[in-house]
Amino acid sequence: MPDADLIAPAAGKRVVALVYDGLCSFEFGCAAEIFGLARPEFGANWYEFTTAAVEPGPLRASGRLMVQADGGLELLDDAGTIIVPGWKGLDLAPPGALVEALLRAHARGARIVTICSGVFPLAATGLLDGRRATTHWRYAEALQTRHPEIEVDPNVLYVDEGQLLTSAGSAAGLDLCLHLVRRDHGPEIANQVARRLVIAPHRNGGQAQFIERPVQARPESRLSSLFDTMRARLAEPWSNADLARLAAMSERTFLRRFREATGSTPADFLIAARIDRARELLEATSLPVDEVAAQSGFGAVATLRHHFQRRLGVSPATYRQRFARSAA
């Protein structure tokens, strides 16, 4: 994600969600819940939400619902953000009029956001060629086969390429929409929206789509206490052997159970925890970056910068500039 990713939508706050016959109701609901509810507490700059029909009605949605759109594809011409909430079928090519409308919107600076299989109409425009993108893991192989020019990442929750944003299936659409709110309005407002939805305020886009088995509500006590210890002592040079000893397991058993519980390795877990701590410090304090690096467990500023750039696509200084609470 380039440093220029904080792109002001060409038409500002207007969000247009596509609707079509066979509409994916849940994916559409993600967009409507984030952008379509009135939120007067956030003032006049909150989003304006509308819907554009890809084809003439009547339009049906999953769950035996009927849908009536606010207008047709002409509404995309003044959209700041366009949401593609799934697609009716992987083997159904998008209409030429939709492809042309998306190309026009992109050319004038609009953002295009896809949820789950919604990436397929966007891929048909060629705009994703040479870029990273994701979709539901079940569809990733089909996307890569049909569009080999795209760098498909089947593992992540979402990918932010600035003007083009793609997400995995179902709830990952909520994560991506909240990420966009965070980009536009800062972390405090994004956290308020998340609290109202009773969901996690932020899941990093690079987080795995799924893990080997669901995390238990009450994880195995040895691992649960170990997670707390690791987060409390982020500056420690933890080795797998050290962690296995604390968990009272053999190293091989420990690594297996750790991945089953978290979907990641201990090293990845620590990097993610250190990044989360660094983000908190950058958002909420005015500590110098070298102190942020020390308190978050990275030690050196260069190490902090490396992992921020690799995981978030921005430098710590750029992140603070965008998301510090005083700037929200």
Mind telling me the catalytic residues? Answer: 116
Which of 109, 107, 114, 106 has its CA nearest to residue 132? 114
> Residue 289 and residue 176: Cα distance in Å, rounded?
27
Judge contact between 62 and 25, C-beta under 8 A.
yes
The CA radius of gyration of the chain, in Å to the nearest whole number, is 21
- CA 280/CA 262 separation, integer angstroms: 22
Q: How far apart are the first and last CA of the chain?
A: 21
DSSP result, 183-220: HHH-HHHHHHHHHHHTS-S---TTSBS--SSPPPSS--
E-strand ranges in the chain read 14-19, 48-53, 59-61, 65-67, 81-85, 111-115, 132-133, 151-152, 158-160, 164-167
Q: 102: burial class by Cβ within 10 Å (0-12, 13-18, 19+)?
A: buried
φ/ψ of residue 313, rounded to 5: 80, 10
Work out the angle between the directed axes of helices 316-323 and 301-312 (0-180°, nearest 10): 60
List phi, psi (to 5°) of 279.
-60, -45
Pairing of strands 65-67, 59-61: antiparallel
